[in-house]
Amino acid sequence: MESDKQSTERQATILLVDDESINLSVFGQFLAPYYQVLVATSGQRALQLAGGAPKPDLILLDVMMPDMDGYQVIGQLKADPKTGDIPVIFVTALTSDLEEERGLSLGAVDYLYKPCHLSILLARIKTQLELKNARDWLKDQNAYLETEVQRRHQENEAVHLQLLQSEKLAAIGQLAAGIAHEINNPIGFVNSNLNTLDSYLRDVFCVVDASNAALDEKPLSEETLQSLRELKQAKQLEYLRNDIPELIAESMEGLTRVRDIIQDLKDFAHADKNEWELGDLHKGLDSTLNIIANELKYHCTVHKQYGEIPQIYCLSSQLNQVFMNLLINAAQSIETKGDIHIRTGRADQNVWVEISDSGKGIAPENLPRLFEPFFTTKPVGKGTGLGLSVSQNIVRKHGGKIEVTSQLGQGSRFRVWLPIRPPELGAAE
C-alpha cells in the first residue's frame, strides 16, 4: 500500500462525516496513511468542506445524524453542480434493503454497514476512487474531443472557402485568354485612334499657323489666300472636322468597355465580399455573361428570358460563380454552333434560374457522377472537374438545389432552385 500511495500523483482527499467522533477517529486513523482525510461531525459542516478546497474526491457519509441526516446532505451535494460529481459512500448501522435502495437512489455509489471490516472499507474506497479517476479522465477527454471537433470544423470551413476561391481563380485563369482578347481589342483601337488624332492635330495646327501668318500680312495678297485654300484642301480639314468627333466617341466607348470588364472581373473575383445580402440575380447573370462573353459569342447565341423575380438573400458573388460554371459548361458542350437559353422565374417562396443548351448532352452513365469533385469529361486544360461540385455546395448553402436533365445529342438543362429567404439564414455565417 505504501508504494501505491507513492505512485499516485496526488494524494486523494476523503471527507468523513459522522456525528460520533469515535467513528471519525477510528476511520481517520486507519485512512490517514493512504489519503488526506477531512472530518465533519455535522451535515452543515460536511457541505462547507465539500464546497471548499481541497475538494474531496470521496465522501463517507453517515446516515443517522441529528439536525441534518445523510439523505438531506447528499440531496444538497447533488443539487450543487460544484459538489454534484463527488462520489458518496453511505456508512450506516441501518441494515435494511429499503434504506440501501433509498441511499443508492439518491446518488450514492456504495453502501457500507457499521461496524465494517477496515480492509473492506479500504478496498471499496480504492475502487470508488479509481472509478472517479476514470470518470474524470473521460470527462477531460470528452472536453478535449469537443474542442478538437470544433477546431476541425472551423478548419474545414476555412478550407472550403479557400477551395471556392481557388476554383474561381482557376476558372478565371482559363478565361484569361478570352478576357485578354476582349480587352486588347478596345485598347488596340483607342491607342490607334489617339495616334491618328495626334497627326490630325498636327495638320490642324499647320493650317492654323498658316492662317495666323496670313492675318499678319497687310495687305493680304490674293496669292497667300490661294495657297491657304490649297493648304486647307491638302490637309483635308473638312474631313477632319467630321472624323475627329467620331474618333473621340469611338475611343471613349472603347475605354468604357475596358472599364466595365475590369469592374465585372473585380466584382467576380472579390473574395472578401462574403456577406448575405439582398441580391439581384439578373444583374449577377448579366455581369457574369460579360466576363465570359469571349467564350460564348463566337459560337453560341444567348437568349435571355428573364421572368419577374424578387431580390433574394444570397451570397451574390458565390452565386455568380455558379452561373459562370453552368454557362461555361453550356458553351463548351456546343461544338459547332448552338443556342443557350437563360430563363428565370418564381414559384411560391422560391426562385429558379435555368440554363439550357443545344450542346452534345451528358451520357446517362455520367449523370450520377456529375457533382463528384474532380469528375470531368473535358480535355486537359479545359476544366478542373470542380465546377459543378463547388456549385452544388454553394447552392446547398443557400438552401437550394440543382436539377439536371440531359439528352445525348439534344442538350442539357440545369435548373438552380433558390429560396427567396434561406431557412438557416440566422445560422449561416
What is the spatial distance between Cα 13 and Cα 11, in angstroms, rounded to a whole number? 7
Which amino acid, one-letter code, is at 118? L
Residue whose C-alpha is closest to residue 268's, from 415, 352, 159, 169: 169
Closest CB to another protein among 185 and 224?
Answer: 185
| Min CB(265)–another protein separation in Å | 16
Contacts of 309 (CB under 8 A, 6+ apart): 281, 282, 344, 345, 346, 351
Report in angstroms how near the CB of residue 229 gets to another protein at its nearest.
Answer: 21
**What is the nearest approach in angstroms of another protein to the Cβ of residue 406?**
26
Q: How far is CA 206 from CA 34, 170, 195, 202, 284, in A?
A: 114, 54, 17, 6, 51
Residues in contact with 142: Cβ distance below 8 Å, sequence separation at least 6, in sequence order: none
Q: Cα Rg for the chain, rounded, in angstroms?
A: 43
For the CB of residue 337, give the shortest distance to another protein in the complex, in Å.
Answer: 9
For residue 43, the tally of other CB atoms under 10 A from its CB is: 24
Helix, strand, coil content of the chain in percent (nearest 5): 55, 15, 30
* Closest to another protein by CB, 171 or 281: 171
Task: Name the phi and psi angles at 51, rounded to 5.
Answer: -85, -10
Largest Cα–Cα separation, the chain: 147
Closer to another protein by Cβ: residue 170 or 197: 197
Nearer to another protein, 300 or 395 (CB): 300
Give 143 or 180: the residue with its C-beta nearer to another protein. Answer: 180
Q: Cα(257)–Cα(145) distance, rounded to whole angstroms? A: 55
Amino acid 167 reads: E
* Rounded least distance, CB 180 to another protein, Å: 6
Closer residue to another protein, CB minimum distance, 270 or 382: 382
CB of 231 to another protein, least distance (A): 18
- Give the residue with the Cβ less far from another protein, 64 or 249: 249
Which H helix or E strand runs over 123?
helix 118-216
> Minimum CB separation from another protein for residue 193, in Å?
5
Position of cell 499657323?
A: 209
- We find the least distance from the C-beta atom of residue 426 to another protein, in angstroms, to be 47
User: Toward another protein, which CB reaches closer, 2 or 198?
Assistant: 198
Which residues, at least 6 apart from 238, have a Cβ–Cβ distance to it below 8 Å? Answer: none
Smallest separation, CB 306 to another protein (Å): 24
**CA 43/CA 74 separation, integer angstroms:** 9
Q: Shortest Cβ distance from residue 253 to another protein (Å)?
A: 7
Query: Least distance (Å) from another protein to the CB of residue 268?
Result: 20
Alpha carbons 26 and 175: distance in angstroms, whole number: 88
Tell which residue, 429, 426, 418, 425, has the closest CA to residue 285.
418
Pick between residue 243 and residue 280 the one whose CB is nearest to another protein. 243
Is residue 122 within 8 A of residue 91, CB to CB? The reply is: no
- Residue 139 or 181 with smaller CB distance to another protein: 181
Contact (Cβ atoms closer than 8 angstroms) between residue 361 and residue 416? no
Q: How many CB atoms lie within 10 A of CB 292?
A: 22
Contact residues: another protein, CB under 8 A:
177-178, 180-189, 191-193, 195-196, 243, 246-247, 250, 253-254, 294, 297-299
Report whether 71 contacts 103 (CB < 8 A): yes
Which of 6, 336 has the CB closer to another protein? 336
